[in-house]
Structure formats: structure tokens, C-alpha cells
Chains A and B, each alone.
Chain A
Amino acid sequence: MRVHFSLLPFATLAMVSPAYATVYLSVEQAQKLMFPDATFTADFRKLSDEQAKAVEKATGVNVLNRDLQVWRVSTGGWFVVDQVVGKHEFIPFAVALDADGAVKSIEILEYREAYGGQVRNPAWRAQFQGKKNGAPLALRKDIQNISGASLSCRHITDGVKRILATHAVVLAQG
């Protein structure tokens, strides 16, 4: 089922987020970790109706937020920050794309749930390396599920799939 939802502003989320929310990486820390020695140029954009529909049609994944938080990387590629639905709250994460639009790495920026933190496991995140738009990106197919962490695994997988399609539909077009 594909239905558009307006994502709550981060400021609103911050107001209702309990104090124990674990922040693993800031955006700046993630940039340095995922693209060492590079510089970043913000290239924030807003998806049009047509672009959002194209992404949803290509992926079967809802576009939660039409405001893209994207940076151009001086060494080539893109740095994207997005978030997906978690058990109780949203899960912010970052995706590094190389110049060809393939996944270089992903990082979980914050995690606010009692369980499911295993999605931060490097071995699980490494499954996304090299994935390009059009890859199945589905649990039990090309991405292994973490038993018991299914909701977080599925939504992060969907989130990466959405970002790859967004790259193809928007970022790769210049």
C-alpha cells in the first residue's frame, strides 16, 4: 500500500523524543566517517509530485518526506540523510552514494528503541554496499533479515531503496 505521509518536522520529533534517545553520529561526524578528506556542498531539494510518484512507482516504497537532505561530495558522489519509521519513533540514517549512484556505506545516526539496535551491526549494513537502483533490496532476497529486528530491517532496507530511486529520478538528472 503506497500512501503519502507528511513527515513530522525534526523539531517536533525532538520535542516528543525522550531524553534517552541515543545519538550515535551527527551529520558532520557521519560525513567525515563516510567520505574522509572530502568537502560537502549542501544541495537540498524538494521532490515534485511527479518525482515523488516516480520514486514510489519504481520502488513500491512510500515517499515519507519530499524535502531531500542531500550534499554533493567533492570527491564524487552524494551524501544523503533520511529517516524511516521505527517501532515507536523515526530512525534517522545516512547513505553515502559513489559517483555511479551505488551505495558506498550506510550509517544509523540515531536509535531510540529498546530493541532492534542490531541494525547498527557493520555486517548487516555491509549488505548494502554496491547496491544500485533496480536491485531487489528485499529481506530474504538480497538482504538478510535480523531475526527479531524485522521491522527496523525492513524499513531501513526500504529507505535505502527509496534513496537509490531518488538518485536515479532526481540527483542523476543534474
Chain B
Amino acid sequence: MTGFVLSCKAARADEPLFGAVYSSDLLPAGGAEFEQWLTWRSGKAVGDYNTVEGASEFQYGLTDDLQIAGYINYQWADAHNDNVIDGTTLPPGAFANVEVGPHEHFRLTKFTGVSGELMYRMLSPYLDSFGLALYVKPTVGPSLYEWTSRLILQENFFDDRMVVAFNATLTQRWRFFHALASAPPGSAGATDRWDRGTATDFALGVSYRFIANWSAAFEVHNEREWRGFNPFVGQRETNSAYYAGPTLHYADEHIFATLTVLTQLGGASDFVHPEPDFVVGGRNYAANFERFRVRLKLGYYFGGQA
């Protein structure tokens, strides 16, 4: 019997039940999957702001508990007079090192980097009291180095049709800034520099499969940003915002589709600027925050039944 168990291969596939929350489910050993992500982020308190982030990803199960993946990341952005503090043009955070005129209509399409991903499951919600997985994702792009670490907890209920997942995510980022011709001599912007920043995301999601192939979910996020790499040093936190929204998910033998709409809630903070700051109506409109996020994931599982 033991020999039979050890010889078994593919068995159960990863599938994204949420838009921005990860579960501890992985592809089985030898399983492969292609995912296409599109995320539309829109809406500031003033001006115009739209950006679409794209990611094309290939995942592969090295073992039943270890999964690797590779991404290509790209982004399109259109912003004009969207800075709620002074009405100037504020590009998305991914383009923070692109020099833009105060009231220039910013439009840019750009390859933003390649990412690797490694996810290791230590506990399975189907065999243990709960699911536990660790995730790391290094990203390298033009003038960018980034490292994301994530702790994933999962508990299932109702014959595994309800999935509750919690993520704690830490992202540390180096971004290169060229000296700005417009910067006053002696200021930080007057010289080339690598800027260091940290972001965290604490997220909770609940998904329920209400009919064969179809799941509905709801997720809540608290995103925070810091200057530098140590979020435990006081006075370095810059921004905080809350998002929440529903997800509809379909999956069958070979394909899946996941659509999520997140809305920024109230309770946001700008810890840097005095009034007027990036917070309007309780929502934060700094470079990495906006009113709405809509994410579509489409995927294809390779392989099939034994």
C-alpha cells in the first residue's frame, strides 16, 4: 500500500477563490496552470485616474506541497490632475520615478518586471486542523527590486465548501529615482538615489461554493506603507487604507475565472502630510491607493484525469 501511495501523482489543483487573498491550496506534483490577471484601478477624489495592471503567470507543482511560478508584469496608466493635495498630476506608484509636469496628462504603457514565486504548504486543511503555507515572490524590473513574503492561514467548513483564509503580506521595495532637473539643488530629488519602501497587507477572505462550479466570496484588506525597510521603527508609516468587496468564481476541469471588485472603505490615514493630506472623505488617495479596484483572473489547468 505504501508503494502505491508514494507513486501517486497529480490530484488537486490550486484555484484562486479570491481576488487578492491566497489560500493554502496548491497544484499537485506535476500539475501546471496558466493564469492571466488584469487589474483595473480607478478613481481619485479629483482629476482623472485609471490604470490597468497585467500579469501573465505560469505555475507548476514541484511536489504536492511546493509550487513555483513565474510572472511577466506590465501596466498601462492614464492620470491627470489627480493629486488631491495640490491638484497636480500624480502617477501610479509603479511609475513614481517617472518625471511628470505638474499638470501634464500622464499616459504610459510599460513592462514593469518579472517575478518568481515559491509557495510551500506546511499544513493542509484537508489533513490537519488548518492550512498553513509560506509564500515568497521576488520581482525584478526596470529600476526596481522587490521582495514579497506572505503567511497564509486557511480553515475550511461545511464539507470544504466554505473556505476562510487570512494573509499577512510584507513587501519590501527598492526603486531607483533619477535626479530631477526641476528639483532644488541639495534636495533629495536633485541626485540619483534608490528609494526604499515597505508595504503590508493584512487580508481576510471568506468563500462559499453555493452550487457546483460556482463560488462567491468576500474579502477585506488593510494596506499600510512605510518609508525604509523596517516597519517597526516609529514615525516611518506613511499611509493606511482599507478595501473590501465581493468575488464571483467559476471553475471546472480545465478553466477558471475569478472577478473581484474592491472598494476603498473609510478609516484611511496619511501619516506624513499635514492638512490637506491624501485623505478625503476618510479614503486615502496617495499614489498607491484609489477608490475602486476590479480584478479579473482567467486560468487554464493543463493535464487531466488519470
Chain A residues within CB distance 8 Å of chain B? 1, 3, 5, 8, 13, 16-18, 20, 22, 62, 64, 84-85, 87-90, 111-118, 120-121, 123-124, 127, 139-140, 144-155, 158
Contact of A114 among B126, B159, B161, B305 (CB under 8 A): B305
Q: A150–B253 contact, CB under 8 A?
A: no
Q: Which applies to chain A's interface (DSSP): helix, strand, loop or mixed?
A: loop
B305–A18 CB distance below 8 A = no
**What is the size category of the interface that chain B forms with chain A?**
35 or more
B5 contacts A114, CB within 8 Å? no
**B104 touches A (CB below 8 Å):** no
Which residues of chain B from 237 to 259 have a CB within 8 Å of any chain A CB? Answer: 251-254
B306 interfacial by beta-carbon distance below 8 Å: yes
A155 near B159 (CB under 8 angstroms)? Answer: yes
Contacts from B to A (Cβ < 8 Å): 1-2, 4-6, 8-13, 15, 28-29, 31, 61, 64, 124, 126-127, 157-161, 209, 211-213, 251-254, 301, 303-306
* Contact B306 A117, beta carbon cutoff 8 Å: yes
Indicate if the CB atoms of B304 and A114 lie closer than 8 Å.
Answer: yes
Most A C-beta atoms less than 10 A away, residue of B5, B161, B251, B303 = B5
Q: Are A149 and B12 in contact (CB under 8 A)?
A: yes
- Counting from the closest, the 4 A-B pairs by CB-CB distance are A149-B11, A148-B11, A148-B28, A150-B126
Candidate in B157, B252, B301 with the most chain A CB atoms within 10 angstroms:
B252
Tell me how far the C-beta of B98 lies from the nearest C-beta in chain A, rounded to whole angstroms.
42
Q: Can you list 21 residue pairs at the A/B interface with Cβ under 8 Å?
A: A5-B159, A16-B212, A18-B253, A62-B159, A84-B159, A85-B160, A87-B12, A88-B251, A111-B305, A114-B13, A115-B31, A118-B8, A144-B2, A144-B5, A148-B29, A149-B8, A149-B11, A150-B12, A150-B126, A154-B127, A155-B159
Find chain B residues with CB under 8 A from A112 CB. 252-253
Q: A16-B213, A111-B305 are in contact. Are A146 and B1 (CB under 8 A)?
A: no
Q: Nearest Cβ distance between residue B189 and chain A, in whole angstroms? A: 52
Given contacts A16-B211, A85-B159, A117-B305, list 15 more A-B pairs with CB under 8 A: A17-B212, A62-B158, A84-B159, A85-B160, A114-B303, A115-B12, A117-B306, A120-B306, A146-B5, A147-B5, A148-B28, A148-B29, A149-B8, A151-B12, A155-B160
Contact for A150 among B9, B10, B124, B251, CB less than 8 A:
B124
